[in-house]
Amino acid sequence: MQETTPAGLADWVGREESRADRLDHRPTAALAATLDLAPEAVLAEGVLPPLWHWIHFTPLTRSAELGRDGHPARGGFLPPVALPNRMWAGGRLRFLRPLALGAEVERRSRILRCERKQGRSGELVFVTVAHTITDAEGPAIEEEQDIVYRQPGQSGQRPAGESAPDGADYRIRRVPDPVLLFRYSALTFNSHRIHYDQPYTTGEEGYPGLVVHGPLTATLLLQAYRQTHPARRVERFAFRALGPLHAGETVDFCGRDDARGRSELWTDIGGRLGMRAEVEYSLPATARTAAFPLP
């Protein structure tokens, strides 16, 4: 694959694509089961929970067109960056209104930025993609997604990272295992090998173990928040991955309200901060009953 120069990266800004999908009930029920929720309770809501659109609009790439890492080969909509490691680093979303289950939807995507930077671990390339998801009534979700490309880390080394904050209003503990990663990969048609191929993950990309998907971590983080605050409607959600979460690690999904009337969320991985997020919410006139009660 030919290296993309800074000038070449600029040529990708403004590229667009569009994908259509249908919010079928079965994938929603399957994700509920994967997240250890009652599928019938989720389906009874009649709308797609926030962030669950990530199991839709998946690229149907033929096996012969996959790269060595299991991702679709570089090029196409995203620029052909030669750096081997690729991850979803964060994003910002506005939930304008709920999407009804069964609705026909469209996602329109546009590359906003392509930037080459120098980090502590070496060269980095950041690509920011904007998505707008619409149904028959118009836009329902606006999203910006940050993708980062980098060199592999030192094999088996766990990053020291930033310490997780204290003062959480709640903590919900989980231990993501390889089965959870496999089921989420299947639902999102994500064949990136770092989520299921241990020898490749440790030997080729330098991680100490299977990597929990960034979108899965963000989904679990927001799920914990919604379980704890069932009457709140999530209007905005922003998140940033600060370090990887690996299968078998114990993680606390934490949150607290701040002085600005927002909620701060984070993952605490044995004292290490893995992901930080922020929620803006509104309260309906009549608080609803918890759709996903705590066990």
Spell out the residues 6+ positions from residue 57 whose beta carbon is closer than 8 angstroms to its own.
Answer: 19, 21, 107
Q: How far apart are CA 114 and CA 129, in angstroms?
A: 9
Q: Can you give the pLDDT at residue 295? A: 32
pLDDT surpassing 50 at residue 2: no
pLDDT tens-digit readout, 193-209? 999 999 999 998 889 99
pLDDT tens-digit readout, 16-38? 999 999 999 999 999 999 999 99
Classify domain 6-282 by CATH number: 3.10.129.10
Q: How confident is the model at residue 289 (pLDDT cuts 50, 70, 90)?
A: very low
Question: Which three-class secondary structure state does DSSP give residue 230?
Answer: coil
C-alpha angle 90/94/96, rounded to 5°?
A: 155
Q: How confident is the model at residue 73 (pLDDT cuts 50, 70, 90)?
A: confident
The amino acid at 280: E
pTM of the model: 0.89
Instruction: Please report where in the chains the tokens 């998505």 appear, as a residue.
Output: 131
Q: Can you give the pLDDT at residue 31? A: 98
191 vs 72, more confident: 191
pLDDT surpassing 60 at residue 111: yes
Dihedral sign (CA 115, 118, 219, 84): positive
Q: How confident is the model at residue 285 (pLDDT cuts 50, 70, 90)?
A: low
pLDDT tens-digit readout, 38-47? 999 999 999 9
Chain mean pLDDT for the chain: 89
Mean pLDDT over 92-100 rounds to 97
pLDDT tens-digit readout, 213-243? 999 999 999 999 999 999 999 999 999 999 9
**Domain spans, the chain:** 6-282
Mean pLDDT over 158-162 rounds to 68
Q: How far apart are CA 239 and CA 145, in angstroms?
A: 10
DSSP 249: -
Strands of the sheet with 272-282, listed across from one edge? 16-22, 104-119, 122-135, 138-150, 85-95, 233-241, 272-282, 263-269, 251-257, 170-174
Tokens encoding 119: 């980090």
Tokens encoding 22: 């249908």
Dihedral sign (CA 146, 147, 149, 152): positive
Q: Can you give the pLDDT at residue 294? A: 35
Q: Which residues pair with 199 in a beta bridge?
A: none
pLDDT surpassing 70 at residue 157: no
pLDDT surpassing 70 at residue 117: yes
Q: Is 191 left (phi over 0), alpha (psi -120 to 50) or beta?
A: alpha
Secondary-structure breakdown of the chain: helix, strand, coil percentages, each rounded to the nearest 5: 20, 35, 40
